[in-house]
C-alpha cells in the first residue's frame, strides 16, 4: 500500500492566521456596525504601477499576434529578464552573470523548492521569530530544525555561535516579522560562520526594496565570501505589488558547490525537470519594474507605505513604547504594553479600538509579548489606527522604552 509522507503529521496547526480570522469574524458578527482597521495583513494594497500595466497589456497583444506570440518560456527565465536583473544588481556594485539569476513564480515557491538541493540529513537553522514557512517546509521534508531565539537584547539580530549545529541557515533581512535589518558587519559574521562550517545561507531578501539606510546591505552578495556560501531569494511581491501577479528571482552563484556538486547546475536541472517557466506575460510585466520609470513608480508606492510606517512609529514614540522595524521594512514590531501577552493585546485592540494586528507569539515562542503591525494598509486606515492606539494606550500605563 502507498505510504504517505508521514512528516506531514509532524506539522503544527497553522493557527496564527486561522485564529485571527476566527476572532475577527466573531467580532464582526457581534458588532456589524464596527468596521475593522486591518493592520495585520502582509499583502499590499496599492495596485501595480503604470509601467508594469503597460508592459502587461503589450505582452497580451503579443500573445494575440502571429510572429510576436510566445509559447513555452525557458525554464530558468527569459534571457532578457535574467540579464535585466543582473544589470539591476550591477547598479548596486554586485556583479552577477545572467546564468546566476533564475526567474521564479515568487519567493514562497522557491523557499520550499530549493530544499531539493540539500540532503535530508542536513539540519536547518531558523532564527526566530520567523516567517512560518521556513519551519514548515523543512518539517515536510523531515529535516532536523535548529531554532535560534532572538530578542530585545540583540535587537532581534542574533550573532552566530559555534554551538549552532546546522547546515542550511535561513536569514531574512529586512525581517518579517520584526522589520530588523542586519548590518554589513552582522551579516559578515554569518557569512564567515557559514564558510567555516561549509553551511549554505538561504538569504530571503523579499523586503530589500524597503531599505532606506545606505549603510545596510540589500543583497548578501554585496559582502565578501558570500558567493561561496549563499543563495539569495527575492520577490517582486512587496517591492512592486506582485503578490497576486507572481514573480520572484533567485541568485545562485556559479562557484557555490559542496562535495564537488555545483548548486547552480543542480538548480538548472531541477527547474528544467520540475517547471516549464514563468508566463511570458508576467515576465514582460516584471521587466518593466527594472526600467528607470518602473523604479521611479514602484518607489512612489513604497514611499506611501513608508509614510504609513512613519505615522505608526510617531505614535509609538509619543507613547514611549519600544519597537523595531518600520524604517527599513514594512513591518513594525512593538513590545506589548503593561507586560501583556500578545493574544491578550490582540483581543484588547480588536474589542476596544477595532484595530487588527498580528500577535508575535505566532512567529515563534520568543515572539511572545510582541506585536506586529504591517504598513500595507491604506494611509487613511493607518492614520485612524494610530490615532485610536494613541488614545487607548495613553489611558493605560504602557510599558516604557527598554
Nearer to ligand PLP, 137 or 334 (CB): 137
The set of cell numbers assigned to 40 is 495585520
Region from 11-19, 100-108, 140-148, 254-262 binding ligand PLP, contact rule CB under 6 A: 100-108
Nearer to ligand PLP, 54 or 243 (CB): 243
The only residue of 54, 243, 279, 378 in contact with ligand PLP, by rule CB under 6 A:
243
Least distance (Å) from ligand PLP to the CB of residue 235? 3
Nearer to ligand PLP, 193 or 210 (CB): 210
Task: Report if residue 248 touches ligand PLP, rule: CB under 6 A.
Answer: yes
Nearer to ligand PLP, 190 or 384 (CB): 190
Number of chain residues interacting with ligand PLP (CB under 6 A) = 13
Region from 23-31, 80-88, 106-114, 192-200 binding ligand PLP, contact rule CB under 6 A: 106-114
Task: Report if residue 295 touches ligand PLP, rule: CB under 6 A.
Answer: no
Region from 76-84, 103-111, 121-129, 337-345 binding ligand PLP, contact rule CB under 6 A: 103-111
For residue 149, say if its preceding peptide bond is cis, omega within 30 degrees of 0. no
The set of cell numbers assigned to 284 is 514582460
Task: Report if residue 77 touches ligand PLP, rule: CB under 6 A.
Answer: no
Roughly how many angstroms between the first and final C-alpha of the chain, as a whole number? Answer: 58
Task: Report if residue 308 touches ligand PLP, rule: CB under 6 A.
Answer: no
Nearer to ligand PLP, 139 or 172 (CB): 172
Region from 102-110, 195-203, 336-344, 363-371 binding ligand PLP, contact rule CB under 6 A: 102-110
Nearer to ligand PLP, 286 or 350 (CB): 286
Q: How far apart, in whole angstroms, are the C-alpha atoms of residue 85 and residue 82?
A: 5
Residues 119-178 that bind ligand PLP (CB under 6 A): 131, 172, 176
Instruction: Give, in order, the Cα–Cα distances in Å from 357 to each of 153, 173, 373.
Output: 24, 21, 5
Burial of 300 (0-12, 13-18, 19+ CB in 10 A): exposed
- Identify the residue whose cell numbers are 486591518: 38
Q: Catalog residues that contact ligand PLP under the rule CB under 6 A.
A: 42, 106-108, 131, 172, 176, 204, 206, 235, 237, 243, 248
Amino acid at each position: 500500500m502507498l505510504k504517505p509522507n508521514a512528516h506531514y503529521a509532524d506539522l503544527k496547526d497553522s493557527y496564527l492566521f486561522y485564529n485571527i480570522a476566527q476572532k475577527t469574524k466573531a467580532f464582526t458578527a457581534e458588532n456589524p456596525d464596527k468596521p475593522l482597521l486591518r493592520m495585520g495583513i502582509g499583502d499590499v494594497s496599492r495596485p501595480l504601477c503604470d509601467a508594469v500595466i503597460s508592459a502587461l497589456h503589450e505582452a497580451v497583444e503579443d500573445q494575440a499576434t502571429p510572429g510576436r506570440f510566445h509559447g513555452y518560456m525557458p525554464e530558468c527565465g527569459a534571457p532578457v529578464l535574467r540579464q535585466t536583473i543582473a544589470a539591476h544588481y550591477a547598479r548596486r556594485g554586485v556583479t552577477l552573470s545572467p546564468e546566476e539569476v533564475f526567474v521564479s513564480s515568487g519567493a514562497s515557491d522557491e523557499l520550499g523548492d530549493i530544499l531539493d538541493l540539500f540532503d535530508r540529513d542536513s539540519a536547518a537553522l531558523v532564527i526566530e521569530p520567523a516567517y512560518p514557512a521556513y519551519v514548515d517546509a523543512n518539517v515536510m521534508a523531515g529535516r532536523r530544525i535548529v531554532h535560534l531565539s532572538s530578542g530585545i537584547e540583540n535587537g532581534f539580530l542574533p550573532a552566530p555561535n559555534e554551538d549552532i549545529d546546522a547546515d542550511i541557515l535561513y536569514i531574512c533581512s529586512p525581517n518579517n516579522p520584526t522589520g530588523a535589518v542586519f548590518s554589513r558587519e552582522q551579516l559578515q559574521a554569518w557569512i564567515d560562520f557559514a564558510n567555516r562550517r561549509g553551511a549554505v545561507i538561504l538569504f530571503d531578501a523579499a523586503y530589500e526594496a524597503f531599505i532606506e539606510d545606505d549603510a545596510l546591505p540589500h543583497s548578501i552578495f554585496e559582502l565578501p565570501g558570500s558567493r561561496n556560501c549563499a543563495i539569495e531569494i527575492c520577490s517582486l511581491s512587496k517591492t512592486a505589488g506582485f503578490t497576486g501577479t507572481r514573480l520572484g528571482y533567485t541568485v545562485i552563484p556559479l562557484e557555490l558547490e559542496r562535495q564537488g556538486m555545483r548548486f547552480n547546475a543542480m538548480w538548472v536541472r531541477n527547474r528544467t525537470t520540475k517547471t516549464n517557466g514563468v508566463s511570458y506575460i508576467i515576465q514582460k510585466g516584471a521587466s518593466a519594474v527594472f526600467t528607470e520609470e518602473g523604479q521611479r513608480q514602484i518607489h512612489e508606492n513604497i514611499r506611501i507605505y513608508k509614510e504609513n510606517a512613519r505615522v505608526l512609529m510617531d505614535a509609538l514614540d509619543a507613547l514611549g513604547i519600544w519597537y523595531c522595524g518600520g524604517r527599513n521594512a514594512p513591518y513594525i514590531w512593538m513590545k506589548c504594553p503593561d507586560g501583556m501577552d500578545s493574544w491578550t493585546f490582540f483581543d484588547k485592540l480588536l474589542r476596544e479600538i477595532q484595530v487588527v494586528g498580528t500577535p508575535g507569539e505566532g512567529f515563534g515562542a520568543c515572539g511572545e509579548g510582541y506585536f506586529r503591525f504591517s504598513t500595507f494598509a491604506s494611509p487613511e486606515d493607518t492614520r485612524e489606527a494610530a490615532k485610536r492606539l494613541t488614545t487607548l494606550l495613553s489611558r493605560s500605563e504602557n510599558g516604557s522604552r527598554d
